[in-house]
Structure 1
Amino acid sequence: MKTQEAHVGGTIGEMIVHGIDRYPDRVAFIDGDARMTYRALGDRISQAIAAFRALGGVDDHAYIVDDAEARVFMADPVYAERALALRERCAGVAHWFGHADVPGLPSFWDQAASFAPARLVPEALTTDVIRLAYTGGTTGKPKGVMLANRCVWMQAVLLLAARSLPDDLRLLCPTPISHGAGAMIVPTLWRGGTIILQHGFDAERFIDAVETHRASMTFLVPTMIYTLLDHPRARTADFSSLQTLSYGASPMAPARIREAIERFGPILAQSYGQTECPSNILQLTQEDHMRTDVDTSTSAGMPYPGVTVALLDDNDEPVAPGSVGELCVRSPLVMDGYWKQPQLTALALRNGWLHTGDMAYRDQFGYYYLVDRKKDMIISGGFNVYPKEVEDVLTGHPGVAAAAVIGVPDAKWGEAVKAVVVPRPGAQLDVEALRALVRHAKGAVNTPKTIDFVDALPLTALGKPDKKQLRERYWGGMGRAVN
């Protein structure tokens, strides 16, 4: 039975309904030439709810069967070919639909249109798991993260309370809204803002959208910012409407942070989180980026309100001040666990802490600095090497556009440090000069034994450097690629 107590703390549905009721005639979404008002959004949601109910009840809405074999599948026309291929392989899915005109699939919205729109009434409880989010899988098989209403609601509230949001909120989303940009959807609806959708990131189309729609806020991953900065139009485009450029998902090179501030102004804001504690563990605000008394360019920031952070050793004891430890979290944001994986859940949430797998230290000012993923750490000749520290040095070179550092098999050292470097257009890079740069900054142990130059780094679907794929090139079948 759903009790009144279970609603304490609010729900994401209540936040969405608030925006729809308060701003019915404002434009909620822009997708190419299409516009959707808040009133139309409410009607669509109402019709979708009615259509789902008509499919056969609670049992038919069990979307996750045998590790995410959904019972209902809806495909965007962009992914029509993939959807039809999946239908051949996923016999457990009972209902297949297209969001619009997808050949071979019935239109969901044609079916939903047979239901009259009704007033929206939030029904989910704060304790209900409303999202099964899958980890990126860069260090192994993806895991289904169970996020309760409580987690997603608090994520939205923290973004409203702790992030600098423009008064005229026009959110440009060139990244998947299932990822970082999606965290801003509900806060934007709460504020009565407009969400401008794009199908994938393209620097030219991004600049066009900023200038045409006067976007005031966006979310990009660092590789996208690099591409934007290197685009010829970036020097002359009108970015004056942008008041907040939020970035995250992977570390950004300090040299490119400074370059972005010079080009776009003091509008950068970084947020660090992970799927298991979505988006809001640490934040580096616009003001933090501009401090002159301390260099924050390599910092992930300070904790959000309502988030308790500790640096723990392998025995879950606090490390000494200034020492590196695993960043662990306690907060209502933290997941309920991994779908159907109780052992992994117990390991990740042991002793009441979410163990993020990220190694970090805290400075005297209270800023946290991520040194790398615990699983990405290289052990070379018995010494620990954190790839991010080496990458930061390499990307500080004016001729380096991007860099990734990995460990590769070595008969003498066990693992040898290898750097994979993307030169900037026209740059002439010298391997020994780059090695000397690292040796001077970080010492001999951290200096890459070898450096390869490539045109581009492999990226995940979310735009992160894919070190798993990168390691596979050098480890072959030896197993390190999935660690």
Structure 2
Amino acid sequence: MHPASNPTLHQGSTFAELYRSAFKAFATREALVGNGGGMRMTYRELEQQCHRLVRCFQSLGLRRQDDIAVLATNRPESVATIIASHLMGLVYTPLHPLGSEEDQAFILVDAKVKALVIDVPRHAERGLALAQRQLVPHVLTLGPAGYGTDLLAASSGLDGDTDIALDVQPDDILKIAYSGGTTGQSKGIVHHQRTVVTSALQQLACWEWPEEVRFLAATPVSHAAGAMILTTFLQGGTVHLLDRFTPGGFLQAVAAERITTTFLVPTQIYGLLDSPELSEHDVASLRLVLYGAAPMAPARLRQALGRLGPVFAQVYGQAEAPMTISYLRRDEHDLDRPELLGSCGRSLPGNQVRLLDADHREVPMGEIGELCVRGPLVMSGYLNRPEETAKAFAGDWLHTGDMARRDADGYLYLVDRAKDMIISGGFNVYSSEVENCLPGRGAGRRHRRAAREVGRGGDGGGGGEGGRLRRCRGADRLRHRPQGRGAGAQGGGVRQCPAADGAGQGGQEDAACQVLGGAGSAGGIDRRETAAPSITHLDVTLLYTLDLSTYE
């Protein structure tokens, strides 16, 4: 007789337990280094700070599974606050540092936030604006401000030596990550302990960490860089915090602290490659440069490999299945296999990944389908949005919205977002194909952004959060050509697509070029002169979510 399953006996671990194991295992090692080396904390000192913060939260009446929102910067106090929320079992909701006030206010209400933590002075003005709305019971500041309660001062005299009880349960919610609101109102993506523990263990098992981990957090700890803090700690490594990315500041930190690993988005890597300071600093300590949010342009990736060596590895995930859907290893960044430079790698163990058609059937190898995922990495659903959750989980798969193909060796190649597909002359044309019919320099860069906007039904104009995406010149010319017979997808509907008339005569490539007015036609673009690398959907998302004036 087979024994019955015992969910309690076989339940998984929690983030709180994993952090505690790191604190105890590496108590005397250096855990955190602030910007410029100004503040340095051992694991024991960080643990004590977290204990004090937890006791302060408890004194305010906060309880396990209450929601806490944090508007953070890359400094040790922010990291300690986030870890303390995990140790206590609070539901952590990061606010995007570049989000609009309206979007952040919506999040506070939607998630029923009990406490809002503001890192001052960087976010003091926004914190005041949110505090004045009186949306949350407790407004806490990381330092003195003219409003709220100074969390650091309030917790300074509390007991940090005695361990707190870990009451977190494996089925607790750990985090609600909001989608950013660049294509509509933000959606709260609910992650239970299972999701983030799975991602951490996959990172440990599958990413190629150096023997000594000195990780430089050059993106916000509230978002991408924060996902690597626990995995660095579980290896006894040190997290170095870069308050604001500039090529010079990044290179100085790498040289001064002998950084061995980091995570960057492609635009940051491009900034490094274009910086004259790259040749002025010793960056030989770098062993692993993780990059994600978008594949790098292959030409730039070849340049990066030539300048920095075989240190690059690509991670692919999305907010609904964070960081570890697939991975392209360092040795797979092989100049002798240039086609791999356009891949996002192979799916990681523990994930089921299929490419499905509109009827949820797997497409044949080499054909394009929507990349769909199953497994413990997948979110629990969208907060307060049952219809959108049902749509995302149609057929019992997470539908990522990314269109991809897979080759015989299992490598995945992202083609586009499903909503960016344009139907032209009977062909499904993806905006990456449109981009490949554009010049590689100058006007081509503007037109590639315009193509991205045309694909998603935008007008190429700026907008975005706080108007940070500047108006894209060339978009007007692309969208306001005479209407053809083609149609493009737009949020499940169909709209007329400019200049698609007759695109079916020359096959898929002609269809892509016809979307831009036809190869060789007046005002058109000769595809024979083009070699533009593809830019993915997430590059435009980055234009919205990263303040490029501080990341270039």
- Quickly name the TM-score band, shorter chain normalised: 0.7 to 0.9
Match of residue 104 from structure 1: 147
Paired amino acid for 2:484: W
Choose which of 91, 101, 113 in structure 2 pairs with 1:70.
Answer: 113
Choose which of 2, 15, 18 in structure 2 pairs with 1:15.
Answer: 18
Higher mean C-alpha displacement, 279-288 vs 109-118: 109-118
Match of residue 413 from structure 1: 484
Contact 1:174–1:201 (8 Å) recurs in 2: yes
Distance 1:36 1:462 in 2: 37
Match of residue 50 from structure 1: 55
Choose which of 172, 193, 200 in structure 2 pairs with 1:156.
Answer: 200
Q: 1:95 to 1:298 in 2, by over 3 A?
A: same
Question: Shift of the alpha carbon at 1:130?
Answer: 0.8
Question: Shift of the alpha carbon at 1:322?
Answer: 1.3
Q: 1:162 to 1:379 in 2, by over 3 A?
A: same
Matched, 1:377 2:412: no
Deviations 1:101-138 (A, max 9, x none): 33433310211123212214432122111100011333
Question: Shift of the alpha carbon at 1:395?
Answer: 8.0
Structure 1-normalised TM-score? 0.83
Question: Shift of the alpha carbon at 1:139?
Answer: 2.8
Paired amino acid for 1:5: T
Gaps in structure 1 of 5+ consecutive residues: 418-439, 468-483
Paired amino acid for 2:543: P
Deviations 1:187-218 (A, max 9, x none): 00111111111123211111111111111111
Q: Secondary structure at the match of 2:428?
A: strand
Contact 1:31–1:196 (8 Å) recurs in 2: yes
Matched, 1:357 2:401: yes
Match of residue 61 from structure 1: 66
Q: Secondary structure at the match of 1:295?
A: helix
Distance 1:8 1:283 in 2: 27
Deviations 1:147-184 (A, max 9, x none): 01111011111101100111111111110112221111
Q: Secondary structure at the match of 1:156?
A: helix
Choose which of 278, 296, 299 in structure 1 pairs with 2:322.
Answer: 278
Match of residue 128 from structure 1: 172
Contact 1:7–1:125 (8 Å) recurs in 2: no
Match of residue 372 from structure 2: 328
Q: 1:389 to 1:298 in 2, by over 3 A?
A: farther
Match of residue 5 from structure 1: 8
Matched, 1:235 2:279: yes
Kindly tell me the number of residue pairs found equivalent between the two proteins.
438
Question: Shift of the alpha carbon at 1:54?
Answer: 1.2
Distance 2:305 2:508 in 1: 26
Distance 1:441 1:365 in 2: 27
Distance 2:64 2:197 in 1: 25
Q: Secondary structure at the match of 2:174?
A: strand
Q: Secondary structure at the match of 2:190?
A: strand
Distance 1:395 1:253 in 2: 14
Deviations 1:363-394 (A, max 9, x none): 11210111011112233444322123444675
Q: Secondary structure at the match of 1:252?
A: coil
Choose which of 357, 368, 372 in structure 2 pairs with 1:313.
Answer: 357
Question: Shift of the alpha carbon at 1:92?
Answer: 2.4
Paired amino acid for 2:156: A
Q: Secondary structure at the match of 1:280?
A: strand
Q: Secondary structure at the match of 1:297?
A: helix
Distance 2:312 2:445 in 1: 19
Distance 2:9 2:287 in 1: 38
Q: Percent identity, please.
A: 38
Q: Secondary structure at the match of 2:284?
A: coil
Deviations 1:292-326 (A, max 9, x none): 34620111110011001001111111112211111
Question: Shift of the alpha carbon at 1:53?
Answer: 1.2
Q: Secondary structure at the match of 2:8?
A: helix
Question: Shift of the alpha carbon at 1:274?
Answer: 0.4
Q: Secondary structure at the match of 2:510?
A: coil
Match of residue 305 from structure 2: 261
Match of residue 45 from structure 2: 40
Q: Secondary structure at the match of 1:192?
A: coil
Q: 1:307 to 1:451 in 2, by over 3 A?
A: farther
Q: Secondary structure at the match of 2:19?
A: helix
Gaps in structure 2 of 5+ consecutive residues: 1-5, 69-106, 455-478, 489-505, 518-522, 526-534, 546-552
Distance 1:410 1:399 in 2: 18
Choose which of 365, 388, 397 in structure 2 pairs with 1:344.
Answer: 388
Contact 1:390–1:442 (8 Å) recurs in 2: no
Q: 1:261 to 1:88 in 2, by over 3 A?
A: same
Contact 1:379–1:414 (8 Å) recurs in 2: no
Q: 1:84 to 1:6 in 2, by over 3 A?
A: farther
RMSD over aligned CA atoms reads 3.0
Question: Shift of the alpha carbon at 1:76?
Answer: 0.9
Q: 1:392 to 1:119 in 2, by over 3 A?
A: farther
Paired amino acid for 1:226: Y
Match of residue 288 from structure 1: 332
Structure 2-normalised TM-score? 0.73
Q: 1:108 to 1:416 in 2, by over 3 A?
A: same
Q: 1:215 to 1:225 in 2, by over 3 A?
A: same
Paired amino acid for 1:21: K
